[in-house]
Homo-oligomer: A and B are copies of this chain.
């Protein structure tokens, strides 16, 4: 593809991303100084259409990029755009007041990205069930009530308030918890249910029912009651393509389909940013959308993903830049966690 044709495609996509209106040859000529007449542009556009980069809603309308057009744009034409300093500082500051609970990180990230990009954003949680337990402790708060603290090998900490038998003395409780902790250290939470029963002897066995419930709680944490955080869905109302309520409903519905989203991101190249455009998405409900996802890491392992969903005419460059910065910062924050 020669330079001018690329330039036409690029300008057309950028204009369409900004306006949402099909772009005609005259518009393109007037808005950007291309140095050639509209007829020439018309010819280029006709070629681009023949090659599948553009589409024609109808004869008398301007052109619109096709999936293939966007794909070419993202892969070939898009230059890495830097973020301005204020924005980078905003992102960094967002993780400064960090708490270690993973849900906080997720919500924070979803809100941050949707605030910056003005697209709805979803953050998928790490699968806790893969994590190993580093330490378990039980802090008595008052008779009948204690806090269960879990430290994972990754450094993340989870806490849950739990009811304990009133007749158990605080010191016994902590001692028993210490016993339990030392014997299940390093066990993947996923295997906990199997591994645990062997440990129930001595004091532990006497309060078997209670400890069983405790393990249940632990497994609940592992099963990630809250697997996803979503923010900024209201942004969709800003885009004319979602002013159709039915379409809006389908797209909103997508955010509730945990398994589908799981399927979408799992089996993806584990690192970096990925862009999925329109028909490339395996779901009918969102085929007029695009999704940009970024993996985030804990140590060197990818543990979760941030998804930005928008109309196909998305500001790909900016979204990619933001996701790069945010996933980097999030990974760093999790490493320290």
Contact = CB atoms under 8 A, between A and B. Distances in A.
A149 B141 contact: yes
Interface stretch (A61-69, A153-161, A262-270, A292-300): A153-161
Interface residues of A, number: 32
A99 B141 CA distance: 14
Contacts of A141: 135, 149, 151, 157
Given A99-B160, A234-B252, 15 more contacts: A97-B220, A99-B161, A99-B162, A100-B145, A135-B141, A139-B139, A139-B149, A142-B151, A145-B155, A147-B157, A147-B159, A149-B159, A234-B256, A242-B245, A245-B245
Contacts of A142: 135, 151
Contacts of A243: 245
Contacts of A237: 245, 248-249, 252
Interface in A148-206: 149, 151, 155, 157, 159-162
A337 B162 CA distance: 10
A101 B234 contact: no
Interface in A42-61: none
Contacts of A159: 147, 149, 159
Nearest to A148: B99
Number of this chain's copies in the complex: 2
Contacts of A252: 234, 237
Q: Specify the main secondary structure of chain A where it touches its partner.
A: mixed
Contacts of A139: 137, 139, 149
Which of A137, A234, A256: most chain B Cβ within 10 A?
A: A234
A82 interface: no
A234 B233 CA distance: 10
A249 B245 CA distance: 11
Contacts of A245: 237, 242-243, 245, 248
Contacts of A100: 145, 161
Nearest to A253: B234
Interface in A109-138: 135, 137
10 contacts: A99-B161, A139-B139, A145-B155, A145-B157, A147-B149, A147-B157, A147-B159, A233-B233, A234-B249, A237-B249
Contacts of A253: 234
Contacts of A160: 99, 101
